[in-house]
Structure 1
Amino acid sequence: MLEVRNLSKRFGGLVATNDVSFTVAAGSISALIGPNGAGKTTIFAQISGFHQPDGGEITFAGQSLIGLAPERICLLGVTRTFQIVQPFAGLNVRENIAVGAHLHRAGRREALAHAELVAQRVGLGSQLDKPAAALTIAGRKRLELAKALATDPKLILLDEVMAGLNPSEIDEIIPVIRGIRDGGVTILLIEHVMRAVMNLSDHAWVLNNGSLIASGTPAQIAADPQVIEAYLGHGAAARMAAQKQEVHHA
């Protein structure tokens, strides 16, 4: 469904993405993970048209996305959420979601009706008339998800939708995300909550310093020495292996 080939992006002397390639299969939940500053959000920005790559190709359903504006990419069926949630504070939950619904629905009544259906899918059905500014962090995260979902995407890019949530809130949103995939939307997520990545993802790619360093199932990724080093520092993989040996021989 989505193919990224040899994607490169520089900001001055900083290499944000370096020859990155991966393919997202239709109907999957995939994860793009890595330490802070690895280049994950820059990749999302390039896929969704907010940044133009310096090199490489991005195709969605066989069509190149290079050079297209974000709204055109959204019309094709690719949408994203943002790390920093910024709802339209002067509108209620229903009206916020309807903004996304207007992409394919010109009439206000139709957009508001669709917004109600989307709110039910993400667990905001009881808060439709609440001012968006009055939502909790967990509520705002769900609203961000709903605003993207209201555009009728085929592929949704979720950028740290669980950041700032407590463990019980994370447990509550995991089945919501799984339900969106089961409803026919392919998902690519950036996430630091490894419990969620392990629970949700069919496949994961690990980015570090702008380059892909590992790819596989979440279990394979978690056991990869390069990944352990990227997250925990040089020598961490060897120390963990030594500790396992000590436990085994104890």
Structure 2
Amino acid sequence: MSAILQIEGVGKSFGGLRAVQNVSLSVTEGRLSALIGPNGAGKTTLFALMSGFIKPDTGRVSFAGRDITGQAPHLNARMGMTRTFQIVQPFAAQTVRENIAVGAHLHVPGRAQALARAESVAQQVGLTAQLDKLASDLTVAGRKRLELARALATRPRLLLLDEVLAGLNPQEIADMIPVVQGIANSGVTVLMIEHVMQAVMSLAQEVWVLAQGQLIAHGTPADVTNDKAVVEAYLGHGAAERLQKVVAGDTVRGEAGKEVQS
């Protein structure tokens, strides 16, 4: 399969802060991938660089074989790259149906067609029963689904999800995971920023790990969670060695228990 998104040597600084440093990655079309890392790693900044909300100081961004470095977000969305935001801000005085229709208007000029598209998308994300409710009356979980629906209504080829599970309780997370999987199964390429490792482990086919603005690991979810550099990035210097000792100690105690039982 070919790459739908490629970033090469992308960097961005804000004053003296190097938020993203020489990052290169390639997102394969048709896959569900994840970008993870500790708070402040530069993940959302990287999304903004990909999608055109921020122009990189260095490097190149290509989408569907075309150089889009610094191109405006609405033009990228028209090409098929759409992103969600960690802090959702729906049009509170409008209904769920009307909010989703806003996204549909990117490609659908007529109001009736946009509203019909909204119904179809609402069904895909589990909002059918909420279509005539005001966005202001939705729960946090409902607003997350609405943010997802507005993005889907633009008919994306690539969907960038920025912590779509943030703020949800365990049951709401469990309910949302099949929704995200269903979007990927429908043919949309998905790249998600996520802190909920349960979701990363169950959804992602490949993972990139960002720390202090730099990529430090890439592989399957199992690969990166066992990577010493990743453990250190999340838990601090020496954490990988301490965890190994704990695991080794548990193994020794387990073996001793087996000997006693035998």
Q: Using structure 2 for the length normalisation, give the TM-score.
A: 0.95
Deviations 1:101-135 (A, max 9, x none): 00000000000000000000000011100000000
Tell me the amino acid that sits aligned with residue 137 of structure 1.
Answer: V
Tell me the amino acid that sits aligned with residue 95 of structure 2.
Answer: N
Q: 1:217 aligns with which of 215, 220, 225?
A: 220
Matches within 5 A, 1:15-164: 15-164=18-167
Deviation at 1:246, TM superposition (A): 0.9
Deviation at 1:247, TM superposition (A): 1.1
Alignment partners' CA distance in 2, 1:83 and 1:235: 31
Alignment partners' CA distance in 1, 2:71 and 2:227: 36
Alignment partners' CA distance in 2, 1:248 and 1:134: 51
* Conserved? CA contact 2:54–2:70, under 8 Å: no
Tell me the amino acid that sits aligned with residue 217 of structure 2.
Answer: A
Deviation at 1:92, TM superposition (A): 0.4
Tell me the amino acid that sits aligned with residue 167 of structure 1.
Answer: P
Deviation at 1:248, TM superposition (A): 1.4
Indicate yes or no: 2:180 matched with 1:167: no
Higher CA-based Rg: 2
Q: 1:203 aligns with which of 178, 203, 206?
A: 206
Tell me the amino acid that sits aligned with residue 195 of structure 1.
Answer: Q
* Conserved? CA contact 2:7–2:62, under 8 Å: yes
Percent identity of equivalent pairs: 60
What SS does structure 1 have at the residue aligned with 2:70?
Answer: coil
Deviations 1:177-229 (A, max 9, x none): 01101111000000000000000000000000000000100001110111011
The residue aligned with 1:230 is: 233
Tell me the amino acid that sits aligned with residue 223 of structure 2.
Answer: Q
The residue aligned with 2:250 is: 247
For structure 1, which runs of at least 5 residues remain unmatched after alignment? none
What SS does structure 2 have at the residue aligned with 1:22?
Answer: strand
What SS does structure 2 have at the residue aligned with 1:57?
Answer: strand
> How many pairs align?
250
Tell me the amino acid that sits aligned with residue 163 of structure 2.
Answer: E
Q: 1:11 aligns with which of 14, 27, 36?
A: 14
- Root-mean-square deviation over aligned CA pairs: 0.5
Deviation at 1:12, TM superposition (A): 0.7
Q: Name segments (4+ residues, structure 1) moved above 2 Å.
A: none
Q: Using structure 1 for the length normalisation, give the TM-score.
A: 0.99
Alignment partners' CA distance in 2, 1:105 and 1:223: 46
